Amino acid sequence: MAGTGRLLDVPDPWAPVDFDHLPETLVTAFQERDWPLVRTQLQSVMDGAITDGPFGRELLQLVLGLPQGTESVFDQYRAAVLLDHGAWDSLRHALASLPEKRAELSGIAELVTAPVDRNDWPAIADAYERGVVQVYEYQLRATRGPYRHWGQRVSLLLPDYIWRREDIPLDRHLRFRRLHDTVSLAIGEAHAGRLEVAYALAKESQRLGDDNEPFRIVGTDLTQLIPLALGESRTSDLRLPGFIGGSTGPSPIGCWQLVWDVIPLLPLRDDETLAWAGRSMARIGARMASPRIELQAESWHVANELREGRKGRQTELAGLLVKARRATPGLRCLPLFLAGYADHRYESFETAEELARRSGNLWLQISAMVWMTALDPNARVARRLRRLLDLTGWRRPVLVPPEIAADAALGMTALGERAESVIELAVVANRLNVITEVIKRHLDDSTIAATIRIAAVDALARINTMHAREFLSQLAKRPDDIGRTAARLTTQMQRGETLSERELEVLQLAAEGLTNRQIGERLYLSPHTVARHIVNARLKLGAANRTEAAARVTQHQDTPV
């Protein structure tokens, strides 16, 4: 996977910014202290319930400059922004002076500053406000499963009071809710559900909300990251690092939330984004005095150290494990997983997997079981792992080196697990001897479904090594479906054949230099589907790789389809 080739700056979301992107009328009225006009202007762009928006910190910092006690709506705006900045003394004073205390603001502040072992909820009567507070608690506890279920039900909650509150602009709020609810579903599915569903939702989010909305940026980056988990290898730069560092980026607490949304997928990239995300979380956690954000940040910092090849004693793992000892399951499972990573200790992965299951961190549960199956194959674990791979679509587990993934695929195969997901896990790990052995065992098992055996033959053709071609030629002599499939693929590899209309379209765009993501956007396909079309076309053309297939496409322009 290609990296960015540059270091990423850690944002300072408290740094002063100019008002270059705000409406000129609003800025002029603010500078001239024309508060009635400021109020009118703000009520079209500022949302007291959802503060981060297209204008980001420029608008939030302007709100912090509003006079207190002049307008009640100003006080409501300021209280919401003070929470987002972790200005706890000022927030306490602001809440005390409001006509009615906002239970959701005080509840969120209580949760953000809570210790790592907190496992109860603030007492909030209103169902919608309780739902708003719950998502913070799920994120702070790092519980991905409950977050997914929250995302499934939050779209059903739309309180009556938004029609009465003067600090909520209805047009913007309702547009944002459609975007927010869709991206929240995508995040939940990516971390604790089905990747193909997550990708479809992330694509849909690009048509919702306003331009430069933070959730639109998250949706865009998810369309880059999810294909990596599905087994793709090509990638391009993410938008989030640059967006967070800009003047229209989100508030401090909004920065942490956006990083939280994508950070489990960042280890799949071969660049500095994971290190950047950990450092960004650490700055926010320290400034906001949030023990749970700090623990998350340190966990990802250690994960990056281990991923870069440092040994356990060369990292901050020992201190992390002490801090996580009394934490809730969602916060404890990653440090324990990292302890297993550092020492290849089965028992650590076993405990981490149990905690990940309890907290709904499905991505970590899969990674832990891949390690366990590689280190000491067990029939029960292998069966559960295969079922999760089938269900979720994960093919490149997080924080799992390729050789470990390959050993896990071999271990599952040796224990009798047969599935396309097992074959694809081996193929993505790209260890040729393991791929061949896994495929051979699938082909030799006459008890499994024909579709799985055909998938094994197809995978053999995809690796396209000399040994694989020889194996394929031998299979072509069989008088069954496997033999006929092998014969067809062998002929395609040797002579090429007519490309389908879709395969021709995909290769033409690839020849123009478009990435799989760009091709998918042009043709309304997922990058995973685009990759499969390229593989099929490559086999038909007898090309060794994508570049050669794209170069040969001009030779087939006149081929009938």
| CATH of residue 548 | 1.10.10.10
Least trusted range by pLDDT, from 255-259, 409-413, 446-450, 501-505? 501-505
Residue that is last in its domain, among 277, 305, 333: 305
Return the pLDDT at 554.
Answer: 56
In this predicted model, which residue has the larger pLDDT, 541 or 212?
Answer: 212
Does 111 fall in a domain?
yes
Does 275 fall in a domain?
yes
Q: Which spans in 120-169 are helix H?
A: 127-141, 144-154
Does 269 fall in a domain?
yes
Once rounded to an integer, what is the mean pLDDT over residues 90-105? 81
Nearest-5° angle of CA 406, CA 410, CA 415? Answer: 150
User: What is the distance between the terminal CA atoms of the chain, rounded to a whole angstrom?
Assistant: 34
Express each pLDDT in 58-75 by its tens digit: 999 999 999 988 888 899
Contact 330, 142 (CB under 8 A): yes
Return the pLDDT at 403.
Answer: 95
Helix axes 362-375, 379-392, angle to 10 degrees: 140
Mean pLDDT of the chain: 88
Does 494 fall in a domain?
no
Return the pLDDT at 538.
Answer: 76
pLDDT at 125 over 80: no
Does 135 fall in a domain?
yes
pLDDT at 536 over 80: no
Express each pLDDT in 370-426 by its tens digit: 999 999 999 999 999 999 999 999 999 999 999 999 999 999 999 999 999 999 999
Residue that is last in its domain, among 273, 288, 305: 305
pLDDT band, very low/low/confident/very high, at 494 (cuts 50, 70, 90): low
* Structural domain boundaries, residue 253: 24-305
Contact 412, 386 (CB under 8 A): yes
Once rounded to an integer, what is the mean pLDDT over residues 502-517? 83
pLDDT at 329 over 70: yes
Contact 186, 147 (CB under 8 A): no
Torsion sign, CA atoms 62, 67, 71, 72: positive
Per DSSP, the chain holds a count of helices (H) and strands (E) of: 30, 0
Does 324 fall in a domain?
no
In one-letter notation, the amino acid at residue 298 is E
Express each pLDDT in 343-368 by its tens digit: 999 999 999 999 999 999 999 999 99
Q: What is the CA radius of gyration of the chain?
A: 26
pLDDT band, very low/low/confident/very high, at 497 (cuts 50, 70, 90): low
Does 551 fall in a domain?
yes
Residue that is last in its domain, among 305, 327, 361: 305
Return the pLDDT at 407.
Answer: 97
Per cent of the chain over pLDDT 90 is 56
Return the pLDDT at 206.
Answer: 92
Express each pLDDT in 194-246 by its tens digit: 999 999 999 999 999 888 899 999 999 999 999 999 998 777 789 999 999 99
pLDDT band, very low/low/confident/very high, at 44 (cuts 50, 70, 90): confident
Return the pLDDT at 558.
Answer: 41
Segment 384-388 long-range contacts (CB within 8 Å, at least 24 positions apart): 385/412, 386/412, 386/417, 386/419, 386/421, 386/422, 388/362
What is the distance between the alpha carbons of residues 360 and 159, in angstroms, rounded to a whole number? 28
Give the DSSP letter string of 252-284.
Answer: HHHHHHHHHHHGGGGGGSSSSHHHHHHHHHHHH
Express each pLDDT in 414-440 by its tens digit: 999 999 999 999 999 988 889 889 998
pLDDT band, very low/low/confident/very high, at 334 (cuts 50, 70, 90): very high
Once rounded to an integer, what is the mean pLDDT over residues 475-504? 74
Number of domains making up the chain: 2
Express each pLDDT in 127-175 by its tens digit: 777 778 889 999 999 999 999 999 898 877 776 777 777 778 788 888 8
What is the distance between the alpha carbons of residues 518 and 201, in angstroms, rounded to a whole number? 17
pLDDT at 542 over 70: no
Once rounded to an integer, what is the mean pLDDT over residues 48-52? 78
pLDDT at 540 over 70: no
pLDDT band, very low/low/confident/very high, at 493 (cuts 50, 70, 90): low
What is the distance between the alpha carbons of residues 418 and 409, in angstroms, rounded to a whole number? 10
Q: What is the pTM of this model?
A: 0.84
pLDDT at 2 over 50: no
Does 446 fall in a domain?
no
* Residue in 490, 506, 501, 500 with CA at minimum distance from that of residue 539: 490
Give the single-character DSSP code of 236. Answer: -
Neighbours of 24 (CB within 10 A): 8
